[in-house]
């Protein structure tokens, strides 16, 4: 049984000023179809964040359905498993679930009303399963714990982690017996697992309050032969356990991800136990590049940039040392990239080079100390806002609970 694990497509993503990623996603999905055939893939697993928003644009939905329709003609792939992520709307994904099931596409947008509907036996039309999947979507706060008045942030986080672990244990109790008859068990997840080699949670939308509801590899029961994760955009192993992995995103989704490898994971199961895992590199059709430094240095980088070998023009983020009038900086940068004959386009910036601005501020004696906003969770920012309002304890607690509920819906 050969399974391909991918995640975090973010179809419909747009950069500022309306620059969409449709061409790159189309290239990726074309490559994915070819790879499924070439590698004789039996099952495709998408571990969340199919779309970038809960209400994706029509072009992104069309691309999604066209891909699934084309995959129906595959000579090898007999089943597709798609679970919702924190960017997805469960309702949007589930709206077509009944129809897609006829195409052997199994969609679990959110935790279903009937818990057992997360348990899939594949091939779906076979008398004897060759693979069993615990199709777990993004678990929202309300899916795994109930609000308790007066509990502390630490208590809420602990109950959230325990609730996630209990959810997987309940599925393990339902599916673990398959391993005894020689059928491997795969689980999905869209969450933040601690213990990664080099986690990049800062590039993603926080999943929950406080410590991001992070769990460890121990939260996944031993009966899972492979855990296909989504949410972190860099491919990585969790807790040095080679069977618990993030596939990463197939295209770089921000300029902070320009050094991430773009991969999908090809799994070969030979009965129960950790499958053979092979990372397949996704071809890059558009570079995301950063140009930083003095204005003259940035202009030189732009004018000499070589985009040979890439199907689409590179997109650049520009940060320039302050000093010159900003209107002049913008005009000269715009003129420089427009003269590159389609090699590169500046889609972010120019802006002041923040590192230099922050270093200068830190060197000023009266500069206020404290963490940068990027280092604070939404929960902590909101708590600091409440602290500044001098509220009564009961009112503060009520606002915190309401804010928790709001975060859980994102």
* Series of mean pLDDT values for 10-residue runs along the chain (410 residues): 97 86 96 97 97 95 96 92 96 95 95 95 89 95 72 78 93 95 96 68 44 76 96 94 96 90 96 96 94 94 93 93 90 93 90 61 46 56 69 63 63
- Closest C-alpha among 236, 278, 309, 312 to residue 38: 278
What residue spans in the chain does CATH classification 3.30.160.720 cover?
288-363
Could you tell me where in the chain the CATH 3.60.21.10 domains are found? 2-281
pLDDT score at 212: 44
pLDDT at residue 373 in the model: 52
Angstrom distances, CA of residue 277 to CA of 139, 184, 251, 263, 374? 26, 14, 20, 12, 35
Which pLDDT belongs to residue 46? 98
pLDDT at 396: 60
* Top-tier CATH class for 288-363: alpha beta
φ and ψ at residue 384, rounded to 5 degrees:
-65, -35
In this structure, CATH architecture of domain 2-281: 4-Layer Sandwich (3.60)
Supply the pLDDT for residue 196: 63
């Amino acid at each position: 049984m050969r399974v391909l694990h991918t995640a975090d497509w973010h179809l419909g993503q747009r950069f500022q000023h309306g620059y969409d990623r449709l061409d790159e996603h189309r290239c990726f999905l074309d490559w994915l179809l070819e790879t499924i055939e070439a590698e004789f893939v039996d099952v495709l697993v998408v571990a969340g964040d199919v779309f970038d928003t809960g209400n994706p644009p029509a072009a992104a939905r069309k691309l999604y359905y066209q891909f699934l329709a084309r995959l129906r003609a595959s000579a090898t792939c007999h089943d597709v498993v798609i679970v919702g992520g924190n960017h997805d709307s469960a309702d949007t994904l589930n709206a077509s679930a009944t129809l897609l099931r006829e195409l052997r596409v199994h969609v679990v947008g959110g935790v279903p009303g009937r818990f057992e509907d997360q348990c899939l036996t594949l091939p779906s039309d076979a008398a004897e399963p060759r693979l069993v999947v615990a199709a777990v979507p993004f678990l929202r706060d309300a899916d795994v714990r109930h609000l308790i008045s007066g509990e502390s942030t630490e208590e809420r986080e602990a109950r959230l982690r325990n609730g996630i672990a209990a959810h997987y244990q309940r599925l393990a109790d339902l599916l673990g017996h398959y391993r005894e008859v020689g059928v491997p068990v795969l689980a999905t997840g869209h969450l933040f697992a601690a213990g990664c080699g080099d986690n990049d949670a800062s590039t993603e939308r926080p999943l929950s309050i406080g410590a991001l509801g992070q769990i460890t590899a121990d939260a996944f029961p031993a009966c899972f032969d492979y855990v296909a994760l989504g949410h972190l955009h860099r491919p990585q192993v969790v807790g040095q356990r080679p069977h618990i992995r993030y596939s990463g995103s197939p295209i770089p989704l921000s300029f902070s991800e320009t050094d991430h490898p773009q991969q999908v994971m090809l799994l070969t199961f030979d009965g129960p136990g950790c499958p053979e895992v092979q990372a397949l590199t996704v071809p890059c059709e558009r570079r995301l590049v950063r140009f930083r430094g003095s204005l003259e240095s940035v202009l030189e980088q732009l004018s000499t940039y070589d985009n040979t070998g890439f199907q689409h023009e590179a997109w650049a983020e520009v940060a320039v040392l302050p000093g010159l009038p900003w209107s002049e900086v913008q005009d000269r940068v715009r003129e420089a990239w427009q003269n590159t004959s389609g090699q590169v386009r500046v889609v972010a910036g120019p802006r002041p080079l923040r590192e230099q601005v922050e270093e200068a501020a830190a060197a000023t004696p009266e500069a206020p100390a404290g963490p940068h906003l990027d280092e604070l969770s939404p929960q902590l920012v909101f708590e600091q806002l409440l602290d500044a309002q001098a509220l009564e304890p009961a009112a503060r607690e009520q606002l915190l609970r309401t804010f928790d509920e709001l975060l859980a819906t994102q």
